Structure 1
Amino acid sequence: MRETWLTLDTAALRHNVAVIRRQMPQARLLAMVKADAYGHGAAMLAPLLAEQADALGTAFIDEALALREQGVRSPIAVLEGVFTTQELALARQHDLQLAVHSPEQLALFAQAPAGAQIAVWLKVNSGMNRLGLRPVEALKAWRVLAQSPAVKTRGLLTHFATADELDSRQTVQQLGRFRALQQALAEADGVPVSDSLANSAAIFAHAAAAGAWMRPGIALYGSSPFAHRSAESLGLRPVMTLRSRVIAVHTVPAGEAVGYGASWVAARDTRIAVVAIGYGDGYPRHAPSGTPVLINGQRCQLAGRVSMDMITVDLGQVTARPGDPVVLWGDGLPADEVASAAGTISYELFCRLTPRVQRHLLADEILNG
């Protein structure tokens, strides 16, 4: 049996939620579980997060409906909103919260008949220029939503483009535009306006972005949203550990090459371990020689190109034999470090994992390494 699997540490998940809550203790927590819980497995982690968070967040409606089908009853916000009258009807039927970010979506609510009401988040384009209405348009949209029989409550949200840059002027500008709009609406309505601004980076770096709701994503799963601040320094623990096993060990004589393209050449007689994971499992094909790998808990380095089903590793002074455990990232080897070596980010490492990788909650793990 080929053993390539990942474990999900639920204690680490609870720990990360607690760390995040301490950063913005007055804010309610909308836990992002889009993209299959950042590749971790929404079916396994969303029910646990539903117990820890105040609401869950998805990118699109199919992700939210899948959670409802598996029995998740907590509030769910769909941050790309809906695009047809049929999707709006489904959202009303399943009590989903919806973002509104375009005139077309606004028209759906303006034309909606009476019936079940929805909590709506009006998305403001405060400067990222991806989704959202500019503040002048948002003022008008706020009034339209107030007249819709489909709308139960209204809130404002925005998304930061450079919250991971600690001295970013753009973040300050975005925050200023958002707060000005929020204040204008609150004064016109005579009541406070609920808000949601802070993503993972803003939660740790921009206290002024605190609001009624925060929306952590990658930090929940124990990875850093910053290029130059480690997850450990933020107090976060990895939820995912990607594991495999050595399937062969052999010696490559000095001067001979390993793998496709003969891109890595042994400078000395070198013990090479072959590990049962490759880009067919989602391990990054572009990871270069030198990318760190743990074998028997000791650091080794990738040697040669990643294949579809295997990688080859320079053992150095490490002793290994077939069957020995390997950690590709997670416990003892930060995903952020592997991502940096591969020229990418941990988000991509997690999200590119394929169904060939088995998933186990740590308490259920039976393949002990």
Structure 2
Amino acid sequence: MMSFRVAERTADALLTIDLDAVAANTRLFAERTAGELIAVVKADGYGHGAADVAATALANGASRLGVARLDEALALRDQGLSAPIISWLTDARDDAFAPAVDAGIELAVPSLAHLLSLARTDGVAKVHLHLDTGLARDGAEPARWIDLCRAAREAEFHGQVRVVGIMGHLAEADDPAAPSNSTGRRRFEWAVDVARLCGLRPHLLHLAATSATLTLPATHYSASRVGAGLVGIDLSRTTRLRQPMTLTAPLLAVRSVAAGTPAGYGHDWAAPRATRLGLVGLGYADGIPRSSAAGAHVLVRGRRVALAGRISMDQLVVDLADTGAMAGDEVTLFGPGDRGEPTIADWAGWSDTIEHEIVTRVGARVRRSVTATTLAVGARA
């Protein structure tokens, strides 16, 4: 006979962001880099809140901000952030750049089409010429670099743009010994030399992102772009960073089941013994990777317990075993790991992905809470 108990009162799932951790990580990177620190807050600050992460980073050693898209840059301006912002992923339509130029957003230029469109835009745009150093995605092909630099110098001469930077990105900085890092660095330095021979004088040279900032000091130049590292992610596995994000939810219901009782869609899991199952109101619509069900664990009453069955859109089930957990008890899906709870790295491993995907996929239904001391967040500048 199955017994069933529902919590009389439950709270929503909660994503807590610890900005003190972001502050500590920012200070570490500011100390590691030889030049300026560009805090990258694309994708809503890697899911941690773009404006909060940006303000925290600027108060703790970053001097500039970076985003992928113009709408992200303009949103930061709307929220009172006046620091220099560079945006690097745009199309080349003539009407795309005017709002950014008006707002003083610095723009990456990966092609002659982008440059010509900017030259036709009212105002003088600050630009960073963007070289493809080996990823075959965004950035100018090396064969077209000389023409881009010459055209940029011509546009600069006519007061249409001002070239303030050159940027690139390394394909395998997570592995410092990868030969492509040296190739990318040589290609970048060649690009800088070509730009200078064409009469350009960019003062911001940035190639390194998080991993390269930590492991490849020769790639620092005059600035480094760090995004994932600010929120505790280091794929080079060389540096212990603080984890700002914790995801919790209550047990909505607990039931006792007999050995052999199946759970979830498809009945591909069955209780190996008589046990108690707990229901959690989070699912793949909230960003919990469906592919992780077979290996994933959560923390309940100080113990890790396994998931039972498939993850559904809105809910998942955990095998509570002999924890004594009751409806209403808190379940920690991931956090810093200092209480034994799973981390984002654990969830990335269980779902065969990277931490970046875990932190950026938490859905809008999950309530957010931001914590910080007065030292973590300064005035928005």
> Paired residue for 2:235?
225
* Root mean square deviation of aligned Cα: 2.0
> Paired residue for 1:157?
167
CA drift of 1:123 comes to 0.6
Could you tell me whether the CA contact under 8 Å between 2:294 and 2:307 is conserved in 1? Answer: yes
Could you tell me whether the CA contact under 8 Å between 2:94 and 2:120 is conserved in 1? Answer: no
Distance change >3 Å, CA 194–CA 73, structure 1 → 2 = closer
Could you tell me whether the CA contact under 8 Å between 2:246 and 2:334 is conserved in 1? Answer: yes
> Paired residue for 2:49?
41
- Residues 1:102 and 2:124 aligned together: no
TM-score (norm 2): 0.88
CA drift of 1:212 comes to 0.9
> Paired residue for 2:120?
111
> Paired residue for 2:265?
260
Q: Kindly, what percent of the aligned residue pairs are identical?
A: 35
* Partner deviation per Cα, 1:260-287 (whole Å, 9 max, x = no partner): 1111111111222211211121111221
Instruction: Give SS of 1:15's match.
Output: helix
Could you tell me whether the CA contact under 8 Å between 2:111 and 2:148 is conserved in 1? Answer: no
Counterparts of 1:363 and 1:174, CA distance in 2: 39
Counterparts of 2:77 and 2:56, CA distance in 1: 14
- Which one of 178, 192, 199 corresponds to residue 209 of structure 2? 199
1:1-369 to structure 2, matched below 5 A, reads 2-24=11-33, 26-52=34-60, 53-81=62-90, 83-113=92-122, 115=123, 117-148=124-155, 149-186=159-196, 189=199, 193-226=203-236, 229=237, 234-332=239-337, 333-363=342-372
CA drift of 1:360 comes to 0.8
Distance change >3 Å, CA 250–CA 101, structure 1 → 2 = same
Counterparts of 1:318 and 1:282, CA distance in 2: 26
Could you tell me whether the CA contact under 8 Å between 2:153 and 2:199 is conserved in 1? Answer: no
Distance change >3 Å, CA 155–CA 60, structure 1 → 2 = same
Could you tell me which amino acid in structure 2 is paired with residue 345 of structure 1? I
> Paired residue for 1:367?
none
Counterparts of 1:192 and 1:107, CA distance in 2: 19
Could you tell me which amino acid in structure 1 is paired with residue 216 of structure 2? H
> Paired residue for 2:3?
none
Could you tell me whether the CA contact under 8 Å between 1:160 and 1:174 is conserved in 2? Answer: yes
Structure 1 unaligned residues grouped into runs of 5+? 365-369
Structure 2 unaligned residues grouped into runs of 5+? 1-9, 374-381
Instruction: Give SS of 1:21's match.
Output: helix
* Partner deviation per Cα, 1:313-342 (whole Å, 9 max, x = no partner): 122342311111111112323201111111
Counterparts of 2:358 and 2:202, CA distance in 1: 40
Instruction: Give SS of 1:316's match.
Output: coil
Q: Which one has more relative contact order, counting CA pairs under 8 Å at least 6 apart?
A: 2
Distance change >3 Å, CA 32–CA 249, structure 1 → 2 = same
Counterparts of 1:37 and 1:156, CA distance in 2: 23
CA drift of 1:84 comes to 2.4
Distance change >3 Å, CA 210–CA 298, structure 1 → 2 = same
Could you tell me which amino acid in structure 1 is paired with residue 42 of structure 2? K
Instruction: Give SS of 2:66's match.
Output: strand
TM-score (norm 1): 0.90
Could you tell me whether the CA contact under 8 Å between 1:60 and 1:82 is conserved in 2? Answer: no
Counterparts of 1:319 and 1:122, CA distance in 2: 60
